[in-house]
Amino acid sequence: MTHTTTDPPARRASGSVIPVLAFAGIVVAVMQTLLVPVIKDLPQLLDTSPSNATWVFTSTLLSGGVATPIMGRLGDLYGKRRMLIASLTVMVIGALISALTSDLTVMLAGRALQGFSLGAVPLGIGLIRDLLPPQKLNSAMALMSSSIAVGGSLGMPGAALLAQHADWHALFYGAAGLGALSIVLTLLAVPESPLRAEGTFDLPGALGLSLGLVLFLLPIAKGGEWGWTSATALGLFAASVVVLLLWGLLELRTKAPLVDLRTTARRQVLLTNLASIMVGVAFYVQTLVLPQLLQLPVSTGYGLGQSMLVAGLCMAPMGVTMMSMTPLYARLSARCGPTTTLLLGLLIIAIGYATGLGLMSAVWQTVVISVILGVGIGLAYSSLPALIVGAVPPSETGAANGLNTLMRSIGTSLSSAVVGMVLANTATTVGGVETPTMAGFRVSFLIAAAAVALGLLLALFLPRQRAPSIHLGG
CB atoms closer than 10 angstroms to residue 176: 21
The DSSP output letter for 15 is T
CA torsion 364-366-372-373 (nearest 10°) is -160
Q: What is d(CA 177, CA 387) in angstroms, rounded to the nearest whole number?
A: 34
Say what the pLDDT of residue 51 is: 77
60-97 residues labelled b (16+ CB within 10 A) or e (exposed): bbbbbbbbbbbbbbbbbbebbbebbbbbbbbbbbbbbb
Q: Residue 149's closest CA among 21, 286, 318?
A: 318
Say what the pLDDT of residue 162 is: 84
Sign of CA dihedral 313, 314, 315, 317: positive
Residue 197 main-chain phi, psi, to 5 deg = -85, 150
Say what the pLDDT of residue 474 is: 39
Q: What is d(CA 472, CA 474) in angstroms, rounded to the nearest whole number?
A: 7
Q: Is 196 helix (H, G, I), strand (E, B) or coil?
A: strand
Q: What is d(CA 385, CA 468) in angstroms, rounded to the nearest whole number?
A: 10
CB atoms closer than 10 angstroms to residue 2: 18
pTM of the model: 0.85
Positions in the chain whose pLDDT score sits under 50 = 1-11, 468-474
Say what the pLDDT of residue 104 is: 92
Say what the pLDDT of residue 8 is: 44
Say what the pLDDT of residue 446 is: 96
Say what the pLDDT of residue 466 is: 55
Say what the pLDDT of residue 472 is: 41
Helix 363-389, helix 308-336: angle, nearest 10? 40
Contact assessment for residue 123 and residue 83, using Cβ atoms and an 8 Å cutoff: yes
Say what the pLDDT of residue 7 is: 40
Say what the pLDDT of residue 348 is: 96
